[in-house]
Chain A
Amino acid sequence: MIKNHKFIFTYLIFIVMILIFSILSWGAVKIPFNEIVSIVLGSNIEEDSFRQIIWELRLPRAFCSMLAGASLGLAGLLMQTFFQNPLAGPFVLGIHSGSSLAVAFWIMTGTALGITLPESVAVAGVTFSSILGGAAVFFMLLLVSMKIKGNIILLVIGLLFGYFTSGLISLLISVTDAQKIKTFLMWTLGSFQGKTALELIMLSLILGIGLIWSLYLGKRLNVLLLGEEYALSLGLRFKRFKIETLLLTSLLSGAVTSLCGPVAFVGIMAPHIARKLFSSQDHFVLIPGSFIIGSILCLVAEFLSGLGVTLVVPINAILGLFGAPFIVFFLFGKRRFRDA
């Protein structure tokens, strides 16, 4: 790693800390700076409600945004290199749609069949179906990308798949009771709030595995930059590599989606910003880079969503406002995509 890179990483970590602190300090209840510090450091303070607000509301929010952003950043990076397509990302390519559909099935078919599951099974089911649904779409994209070369086509297929799933979901909604519909719709808006400690631990475990596994894939991802033919000529075992990437991406994206809903655009934006910032394509730089920039994006979105104090703007509204123009700018900026 070049000296310059270390400097940028230090900077980014500093930004993460500022953002976390901003989320901790902003809200309906005003908590003084030094109290926040002592609460986080674990020392006792007089006002017990402050401690509760920090530990049970704001810190989990910040923590969840960070984990989700990092996971999506990693998933996006993996997908962009894997499909050799800068427009790839779990949201735009429809991985999230696959998760949504599977989750919708899980939440809503229960009523149709008249079964009530215990709480823990229901939650585990959401996670599982989210990962599975994501993996199914990824697999489908894999098949398509083997047949058709072209950046835009893959994107269009992802979008079409999104429409298809929303059609199916509407169908499901029309036969389900109002309570379940509300649960599902709230889920689709995307939220980093109200997660339990167990959920966050689960997510951090998956993220930890994801980070180590990505680094383990780093050498192979780097060689794929040369293109499939060079990678083969250098002895890359493609089948195994494909399966590993498929599993890892679905795991990362699915875990976040099950917990926070389909979070838009972070996956596609984080790797691009990382590439620009570090002016590098080396995955041993981009993996930690996308990880931390993904966190920053989600932290910013979460902070902005809570800015109105009483009026909470959904995460996806904010990310959509920033993400969609980002892609448009990207398309305009890259000449080679005009004729892709």
Chain B
Amino acid sequence: MPSNLLLEVKNLSVGYEKKAILSKLDLSISKGEMICLMGPNGSGKSTLLKSLVGILPFLEGEIQINGKRIDKIKQEELSKIVSIVLTNKGDVQGLTVEDVVRLGRFPHTNRFGKLQRSDRNIIKESIETMNLESIREKLISELSDGQVQKVFIARALAQDTELIILDEPTTYLDIANKMELMSILTNISKEKGKTLLFSSHDWSLALEMCPKAWLLDHSGTISMGTPEEFLFNGTMQKLFMNEKFFLNSSSGRFCELKSTPKEIYLDCEDSNIKYWSLHALEKIGFKYAEEAELRIYFANGEFKIEGGKSFKSLSDLLLRLKLS
């Protein structure tokens, strides 16, 4: 269905001053999709995203938005179709949250930036979507990194574009903020019907939150698919092949490569305690096996090695096993 296509990229080369960083890209985004652009640091993710919004001229090929080539669309018109949240946040320390969000209305207001009722509504709505009502009048300099990021996303929402592009939105955020932000983004995509494209080098984030991903590898090619697909067809493992780590295709987690792990048996009724105890044991080079010689029993809050000592806590046990 071509009518459902929002963005189409054909044979695109992007880079700075004639020097291509990525080339021969063929990509497409359909309306309403939420896509994660995955790739290692410094692989050219930002360069690609900036080219897609038209703030960095591309070198070769074609980018089409809604069937129109973006180099044929005026920047003023383009700014009503696509917005971007960058990693740099400008010099806005002295502006309030609302001031920054209001700047998103730039393409929609008159010369003096006078806000109409509809503009005010969109600003209010954007602030509410990002849960920023309580800090609406605070200065940017008073906010945490996570809050600033949310303000800039609210600004992009206020710009009211079909496609929102975000460059590394979760970098520098702690895990709680990361999860909150991702759930808000998922909401924006589902409830407001916005199309989202964001970059990340955080593989687990894409795996957990995104139905679709673009995977950028070292050779500069991008594969499109679902994160799970990349896991079971081995694309991910190949990309992250490393002497010290490997990607466990059943858990989707990175694991340290160890010389043959020792076998261990753990008997424990509480499945939660068993799971996490084994998790810890794996870190110091053990592997669960039913028939292992080394047998541990957990009862009454104590770990007991068969034919040996008891330990009051998991860390004591680990210390002992490490030494032996």
Contacts and interface: CB of A to CB of B under 8 A. Distances in A.
Nearest to B114: A219
Given A230-B90, A233-B83, A281-B94, A219 B111 contact: yes
B112 A227 contact: no
Contacts, number: 84
A143 interface: no
Contacts of A280: 94-95
A235 B76 contact: yes
A233 B94 contact: no
Contacts of A226: 89-90, 92, 100, 103
Contacts of B89: 226-227
B195 interface: no
B159 interface: yes
Given A215-B112, A222-B113, A227 B107 contact: no
Among B50, B112, B139, max chain A CB count under 10 A is at B112
Given A227-B88, A279-B94, A235 B106 contact: yes
A275 B106 CA distance: 22
Among B53, B79, B109, max chain A CB count under 10 A is at B79
Given A218-B112, A281-B95, A225 B76 contact: no
Interface in A230-262: 230, 232-237
A219 B110 CA distance: 9
A235 B111 contact: no
A286 to B, nearest CB: 9
A84 interface: yes
Interface in A266-318: 275, 279-282, 284
Contacts of B119: none
A237 B113 contact: no
B106 A219 contact: yes
Interface string B72-114: 0011111110111010111111110001100110110101110
A279 B84 CA distance: 28
B55 interface: yes
Nearest to A227: B90
A238 to B, nearest CB: 9
A216 interface: yes
Given A227-B90, A235-B75, A219 B109 contact: yes
Contact of B95 (A219, A236, A282): A282
A240 B107 CA distance: 16
Contact of A229 (B80, B88, B92): B88
B54 A233 contact: yes
Among A223, A233, A284, max chain B CB count under 10 A is at A233
A229 B91 contact: no
A151 B131 CA distance: 36
Among A219, A223, A279, max chain B CB count under 10 A is at A219
A40 to B, nearest CB: 35
Contacts of B83: 233-234
B79 A233 contact: yes
Nearest to A235: B79
Nearest to B102: A222
Contacts of A216: 111-112
A236 B92 CA distance: 17
A284 B112 CA distance: 9
A237 B75 contact: yes
Given A229-B88, A230-B86, A282-B99, A275 B94 contact: yes
Contacts of A222: 99, 103, 113
A290 B92 CA distance: 18
A281 B95 CA distance: 6
B157 to A, nearest CB: 13
B91 A234 contact: no
A163 B74 CA distance: 43
Given A218-B112, A223-B106, A234-B106, 6 more contacts: A215-B112, A227-B89, A227-B91, A230-B86, A237-B75, A282-B99
The 5 closest A-B pairs by CB, nearest first: A235-B79, A219-B113, A281-B94, A227-B90, A226-B90
9 contacts: A84-B91, A218-B112, A226-B90, A227-B90, A230-B90, A237-B75, A281-B92, A281-B94, A281-B95
